[in-house]
């Protein structure tokens, strides 16, 4: 059967649209069969959610798959609530789960399958609170472990929840907040051990979990999780994808166009390869007299669309996600990234100099710069080169950041003149 790659971008994809991830999906399935707990590590827009959804599609006959979205959760009790709701598609497990809440659901027991999620959520929320979330969660996982099939619990955006709890609205790590996060992460760890062989946990998110936990000295709570890296497409794979999707959609490309598109992007993140193709496709259809798209045209589309107003809005999440880590961290991160974008690179000496201009009590510039660089490297903004300096891993993100932030910026060496 002919593949259907589909046009468009923005949503997670499955099946043939989850292009050329055969090896990763196979490795993922092998690790699930081994009973491993995984922490998916990847830059933004690389396809983490697509990996979780496609893995569920392929493994659902063998495993009980629970997709738990923690994007809006703000407490451990919320996490248990979302985990409870995730069992709803799975009868009779859902019936047993609702039984945990006794009288709270008696009034709607006969019609619980027909109720809106919001109604059920209100009822369940009343039975989960800061004082009983662990006991409710333990009992919930005991029910999951009793299922006929072993379970995979996908915890999507757990890093955002952890950061939200740890730093609060004032972005200050306090002993009390650290204790709550430690309780949550220890609860996950302890249950992964208690139900080994019956439950596997898979953690993913749009920010890195290890850097967030490291700020609070809690990285040890992940010591039974294996890192599962999901890398960008290689240039060859991206070129093959562009060629296939162009043929599928009847779009003629001159020789060298797919190669030039990947050169302009730099790092071939699937989301942005799809986004670039969509802009090229639309431009070609609007210009009916074009027989085949040329390299000159894709270069112009890169400037006018990928780096234009709408393209820059699409990329703004790179800046927005940094704000989740707090204003002090954000200010230093923006300085580092703008220096790297304008100067072309960022050295450790320069990073420490920039950090010194944004002092944080109790943290010397060297410590600050190491922490910030660690997050920026982990989350795919910068990479350390063979010469020991840092530069953008993605040409697209580099160009967007430079256009967005270079106005009025002076590199560190210019400030000292």
Question: What's the pLDDT band for 15 if we cut at 50, 70, 90?
Answer: confident
Question: What's the pLDDT band for 109 if we cut at 50, 70, 90?
Answer: very low
As given in the structure block, the two tokens for residue 286 are 């609007």
Q: Do 165 and 220 sit in the same domain of this protein? A: yes
252-280 average pLDDT score: 96
Q: Is residue 380 part of a domain?
A: yes
- Cα 14 to chain centroid distance, Å, stands at 17
Instruction: State which of 194, 229, 264 marks the end of a domain.
Output: 229
166-194, pLDDT tens digit by residue?
999 888 899 999 999 999 999 999 999 99
Q: Do 215 and 353 sit in the same domain of this protein? A: no
Q: Do 256 and 391 sit in the same domain of this protein? A: no
Q: Do 208 and 65 sit in the same domain of this protein? A: yes
Domain coverage including residue 274? 235-315
pLDDT at position 94 is 86
Q: Is residue 34 part of a domain?
A: yes
Instruction: State which of 229, 255, 274 marks the end of a domain.
Output: 229
Specify the DSSP class assigned to residue 6. Answer: -
Specify the DSSP class assigned to residue 231. Answer: P
Pure H helices in 287-394: 295-301, 309-315, 317-323, 327-343, 348-356, 365-378
Q: Is residue 386 part of a domain?
A: yes
Output the domain CATH number for residue 284: 1.10.8
How many residues can be counted in the chain? 417
Q: Do 118 and 261 sit in the same domain of this protein? A: no
CA–CA dist 113, 110 (Å, integer):
8
CA–CA dist 124, 104 (Å, integer):
7
pLDDT at position 323 is 86
Output the domain CATH number for residue 326: 1.10.10.10
Q: Do 161 and 81 sit in the same domain of this protein? A: yes
Q: Which residue has the tokens 């989960």?
A: 128
Q: Do 44 and 190 sit in the same domain of this protein? A: yes
Output the domain CATH number for residue 95: 3.40.50.300
Q: Provide the 10 A C-beta neighbour count for residue 132.
A: 13
340-389, pLDDT tens digit by residue?
999 999 999 999 999 999 888 778 888 889 989 999 998 889 999 988 89
Q: Is residue 9 part of a domain?
A: no
Confidence check: pLDDT of 208 > 70:
yes
Specify the number of domains making up the chain.
3
Residue 242 host element (H or E): helix 235-248
Q: Do 303 and 325 sit in the same domain of this protein? A: no
Q: Is residue 398 part of a domain?
A: yes
Q: Provide the 10 A C-beta neighbour count for residue 71.
A: 12
Q: Is residue 335 part of a domain?
A: yes
Instruction: State which of 199, 229, 259 marks the end of a domain.
Output: 229
Q: Is residue 1 part of a domain?
A: no
As given in the structure block, the two tokens for residue 186 are 């220890």
Pure H helices in 170-305: 175-194, 209-215, 235-248, 257-265, 270-286, 295-301
CA–CA dist 195, 188 (Å, integer):
11
Orientation of helix 76-86 relative to helix 117-125, angle to 10°: 130
Q: Do 31 and 170 sit in the same domain of this protein? A: yes
Q: Do 250 and 322 sit in the same domain of this protein? A: no
Confidence check: pLDDT of 21 > 70:
yes
Q: Do 326 and 310 sit in the same domain of this protein? A: no
Q: Do 322 and 201 sit in the same domain of this protein? A: no
Q: Is the peptide bond before 218 cis (omega within 30 degrees of 0)?
A: no
Q: Is residue 4 part of a domain?
A: no
DSSP β-ladder status, 64-69 and 38-41: unpaired
Pure H helices in 21-132: 22-33, 48-59, 76-86, 93-99, 117-125
């Amino acid at each position: 059967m002919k593949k259907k790659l589909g046009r468009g971008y923005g949503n997670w994809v499955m099946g043939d649209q989850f292009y050329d991830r055969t090896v990763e999906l196979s490795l993922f399935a092998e690790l699930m069969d081994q009973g491993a707990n995984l922490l998916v590590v990847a830059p933004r827009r690389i396809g983490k959610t697509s990996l979780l959804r496609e893995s569920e599609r392929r493994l659902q006959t063998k495993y009980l798959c629970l997709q738990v979205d923690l994007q809006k959760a703000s407490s451990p009790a919320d996490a248990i609530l979302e985990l409870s709701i995730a069992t709803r598609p799975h009868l009779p497990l859902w019936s047993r789960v609702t039984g945990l809440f006794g009288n709270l659901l008696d009034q709607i027991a006969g019609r619980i399958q027909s109720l809106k999620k919001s109604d059920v959520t209100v009822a369940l929320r009343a039975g989960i609170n800061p004082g009983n979330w662990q006991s409710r969660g333990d009992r919930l996982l005991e029910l999951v472990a009793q299922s006929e099939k072993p379970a995979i619990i996908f915890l999507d955006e757990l890093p955002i929840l952890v950061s939200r709890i740890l730093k609060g609205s004032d972005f200050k790590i306090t002993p009390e907040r650290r204790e709550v996060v430690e309780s949550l992460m220890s609860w996950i760890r302890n249950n992964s051990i208690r139900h080994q062989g019956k439950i596997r946990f898979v953690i993913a998110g749009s920010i890195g979990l290890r850097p967030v936990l490291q700020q609070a000295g809690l990285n040890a709570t992940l010591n039974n999780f294996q890192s599962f890296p999901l890398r960008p497409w290689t240039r060859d794979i991206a070129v093959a994808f562009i060629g296939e999707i162009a043929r599928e959609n009847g779009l003629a490309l001159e020789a060298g166009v797919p190669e030039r598109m990947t050169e302009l992007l730099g790092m071939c993140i699937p989301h942005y390869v799809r986004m670039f193709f969509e802009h090229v496709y639309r431009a070609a259809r609007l210009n009916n007299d074009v027989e085949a798209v040329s390299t000159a045209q894709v270069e112009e589309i890169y400037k006018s669309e990928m780096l234009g107003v709408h393209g820059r809005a699409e990329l703004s999440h790179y800046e927005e996600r940094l704000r989740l880590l707090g204003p002090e961290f954000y200010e230093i991160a923006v300085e580092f990234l703008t220096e790297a974008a304008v100067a072309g690179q960022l050295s450790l000496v320069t990073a420490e100099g920039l950090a010194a201009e944004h002092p944080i009590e109790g943290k010397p510039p060297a410590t600050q710069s190491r922490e910030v660089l660690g997050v920026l490297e982990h989350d795919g903004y910068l990479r350390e080169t063979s010469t020991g300096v840092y530069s953008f891993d993605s040409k697209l993100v580099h160009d967007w950041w430079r256009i967005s932030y270079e106005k009025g910026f002076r590199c560190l060496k210019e400030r000292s003149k």
